[in-house]
Amino acid sequence: MFLFGDISWQAGLMWFVVLGALIGLNEVSRRGKWAGLGLFVALPIVLTIFVWPETAGGDSSTGTWFHWVKVYSALAGCLGFMAIRYYPRVAANKWALIFPPAILAINIFEACVRDFQVGAMNADGIVDGVYMVSGSWNYMNGIAGIINLLAITGWMGIYISKDKSRDMMWPDMIWPWIIAYDLWNFAYVYNAVGDHAFYAGAALLISCTIPAFFIRKGAWLQHRAHTLALWMMFTMAVPAFVGDSQFSVEASHNPAALFTVSAIALAANVALAALQITKMVKRRKNPLKEEVYDDTAAYRRVVETIPGSPKPTAAHAVR
């Protein structure tokens, strides 16, 4: 295949198992405070002390600085979001609401740094336990990630749903940004840890996009943090799953494939930037203080259907 090598029926079936498990565990984790504390506090403590020092060492494909930083930054996001969700005094502090977009921006920036780092390696072989091929695609996708980071809007528009799940809602984060992010992040994983991309690229990204589009609209960042933390904890505990098991699927490491996925990601994010700049100029919007997409049907579907959403105003009319 163009993107990947042979995909066995076992791997194909496992892809759906991983997808279903991540969606299911995300649903469990968002249903209550104690479920979240169990998955994102108690479990990581046990893994940090007893498991990861053995499974995610320097000779492991998940033993790089990036994997360790990524798992703890994802967990920090989950815990920060829980504080906002379950403690009204925190949610009432407008400065606390800067944390969700800030942690998202930091995670994107981490990946951009890694893409540029891989590009500068001139690699064509095993580096840090994974097969890497350096090239122009790394720089293209690093630029795409920076555009995606700069395109984050509605920083001050986050609020908590007034129902049992108390989800962290971000209605200005609508589908154009999510799709551009998914394409960029898939390209990043494909560039930097290509042999993990079948699961960590495709399945992981879809596992938070499906809930954002069909289960709880407007809560993409919460879904993303939960599924990312769950996946990172699993791969650091069982690195052989994606690297040396009957379920592993290797990337093709084809320069044409690497270039193509990064070119698509860059094009999507350039289009996102064009859309956003047009809206900002036409409607005179400040993306750090105002919601840019509050005139869209996607935004309106969130504010009209989620308990606790701000009441639609004339500014929210679909145009």
The predicted pLDDT at position 309 comes to 74
% of the chain at pLDDT higher than 70: 97
The predicted pLDDT at position 311 comes to 60
* Nearest-angstrom CA–CA distance, 27 and 24: 5
pLDDT tens digits along 57-81: 877 778 777 788 889 989 999 999 9
* Nearest-angstrom CA–CA distance, 203 and 110: 21
Range with the poorest average pLDDT among 57-61, 111-115, 301-305: 57-61
Is pLDDT at 319 greater than 50 in this prediction? no
Position with higher pLDDT, 185 vs 240: 185
- How many whole angstroms from its chain centre is CA 149? 12
User: Is the full-model pTM beyond 0.85?
Assistant: yes
pLDDT tens digits along 252-284: 999 999 999 999 999 999 999 999 999 999 999
**Contact of 181 with 150, CB cutoff 8 Å:** no
The one-letter code for the residue type at 177 is W
Q: What is the mean pLDDT of the chain?
A: 91
Per-residue HEC secondary structure of 8-34 comes to CHHHHHHHHHHHHHHHHHHHHHCCCHH
pLDDT tens digits along 116-175: 999 999 999 988 778 999 999 999 999 999 999 999 998 888 999 998 999 999 999 999
**Contact of 111 with 145, CB cutoff 8 Å:** yes
